[in-house]
Amino acid sequence: MGTDVDDLDPVRIRELFDLRSGMNEHSGAGYRDDPYPTWHRLRETGPVHRGTVHELTGYQGPAFFQGLPHPEREHFSVFDYAGCDAAFRDETLFVSSERTADGLDFEHGGRGADSSILYMNGKRHRTYRGLVQPSFVPPRAVWWIDNWIKQTVDALIDTFIGNGRADLNTEFCAAIPTLTITGSLGIPASQALDLRASMLPGRIDTAAFGRIVGPAVAARHENPTDDLLSVLVEAEFTDEDGVRHKLSDDEIMSFAYLLLVAGSGTTWKQMGITLAALLARPHVLDAVRDDRSLMRGAVEESLRWMPTDPMFSRFLARDTEFRGTFMPRGSVIHMCIGAANRDPLRWDSPDEYDPTRPGRSHLGFGRGPHVCLGTHVARAEMAVGIGALLDRLPNLRLDPDVEPPTFIGMYERGATEIPVVFG
């Protein structure tokens, strides 16, 4: 199963994956400061504040994200670990769909785009999530690595290994999760960037998405193979009346959309954050190169220290007093996991990137019933990708003649270029 990375246009990759491009401005790409000092001050003055995270941080630019903008609703933001953890775990009070918060439908969430498992609750969410969960459990990581991740990683390194330098963010990190998830859904590399472009928030093109994914779904109906799309096509569940059902094509497309958005939209940024953190600390990079058992700590610490999506939202299903603040039903609750992951009540020296710190669970992948489905695949992509760079690029280091990486963005944080030299 080959990966034809030559089909990827490097100019288009930069347009789609450079956080400074106009295509990413919706999520607060114009924010260039370090938000953590402000988040520390907010957390110190109280775990919950009225308002959105970006407003409380002082950013007034565009910042549309999950749970935003909803100007007709009240907004509250939670900044401590205990509060964010509690909100993630309680799916009856902090619900995923505004329709559910308004008392219309707890189990089913919304309609249309809201039919995604992201907007389901309770038994229905567990049933639908359970259809694909087996493909994402830790033992299946080898399936992902052998079928898609490793060949993609090696093919990408082949494109620049002879140059002695590269921008690892767009030439490497961006393409790995994109090609991994599109490959698992039977989409050729030649269509991967078109598919990514069709799903950009604020620019969603459902017709283009359907033209690319629809034929792949039809092909798996005719000839199932050993891939994720075939899992969706062949999946069955039993309803409350004991009747067996297969997913409709619309439901399969909804699943594919979710997996593509999540699979290609976050891991590349988190891998870039991890690489930038390691390259800025050569002694830590050398330690990981010499002892690969430290790789897991390097990745987990990145997820704690700077999660690429530092905020997720829920809707309040009833009036409540939470962490000392009254919130009315229908309010939007924003869990600032970026702040929670640096709560000094849970971690010593929380602003330091230290892969050797004792492991404690973080909120980088969320928590509770809606914890990120692809956590183990994302971990595998980052570990395999960074490991291959260390194996194949001797003396890998930041390019001393170019500005080092900086971290930007409000609700989608990531590195700018990661310019390196090697050899």
* CATH (domain of 127): 1.10.630.10
Which tens digits make up the pLDDT trace of 217-247?
999 999 999 999 999 999 988 877 788 888 8
Of these ranges, 17-26, 102-111, 134-143, the one predicted with the greatest mean pLDDT is 134-143
pLDDT band at 284 (very low <50, low <70, confident <90, very high): very high
Residue 18 CA to residue 405 CA, distance in Å, equals 12
pLDDT band at 79 (very low <50, low <70, confident <90, very high): very high
Overall number of domains in the chain: 1
Which tens digits make up the pLDDT trace of 179-199?
999 999 999 988 999 998 888
* 111, pLDDT greater than 70: no
Residue 120 CA to residue 258 CA, distance in Å, equals 13
* 108, pLDDT greater than 90: no
> Which stretch of 63-67, 250-254, 262-266 has the lowest confidence by average pLDDT?
262-266
Residue 139 CA to residue 375 CA, distance in Å, equals 13
Is the whole-model pTM more than 0.85?
yes
pLDDT band at 115 (very low <50, low <70, confident <90, very high): low
Which tens digits make up the pLDDT trace of 313-357?
999 999 999 999 999 999 999 999 999 999 999 999 999 999 999
Which tens digits make up the pLDDT trace of 204-219?
888 999 999 999 999 9
User: Three-class SS string for the chain?
Assistant: CCCCHHHCCHHHHHHHHCCCCHHHHHHCCCCCCCCHHHHHHHHHCCCEEECCHHHHHCCCCCCCCCCCCCCCCCEEEECCHHHHHHHHHCCCCEECCHHHHCCCCCCCCCCHHHHCHHHCCHHHHHHHHHHHHHHHCHHHHHHHHHHHHHHHHHHHHHHHHHHCEEEHHHHHHCHHHHHHHHHHCCCCHHHHHHHHHCCCCCCCCHHHHHHHHHHHHHHHHHCCCCCHHHHHHHCEEECCCCCEEECCHHHHHHHHHHHHHHHHHCHHHHHHHHHHHHHCCHHHHHHHHHCHHHHHHHHHHHHHHCCCCCCEEEEECCCEEECCEEECCCCEEEECHHHHCCCCCCCCCCCCCCCCCCCCCCCCCCCHHHCCCCHHHHHHHHHHHHHHHHHHCCCCEECCCCCCCCEECCCCCEECCCEEECC
Q: Count of CB atoms within 10 A of residue 140's CB?
A: 15
Average pLDDT over the chain, rounded to an integer: 91
Residue 293 CA to residue 122 CA, distance in Å, equals 38
Which pLDDT score is estimated for 110?
Answer: 41
pLDDT band at 2 (very low <50, low <70, confident <90, very high): very low
* Beta bridge partners of residue 316, listed in sequence order: 94
* 106, pLDDT greater than 80: no
Which pLDDT score is estimated for 83?
Answer: 97
Q: Domain range spanning residue 264?
A: 5-421
pLDDT band at 112 (very low <50, low <70, confident <90, very high): very low
> For the residues 1-12, what does the mean pLDDT come to?
74
Which pLDDT score is estimated for 82?
Answer: 98
pLDDT band at 114 (very low <50, low <70, confident <90, very high): very low
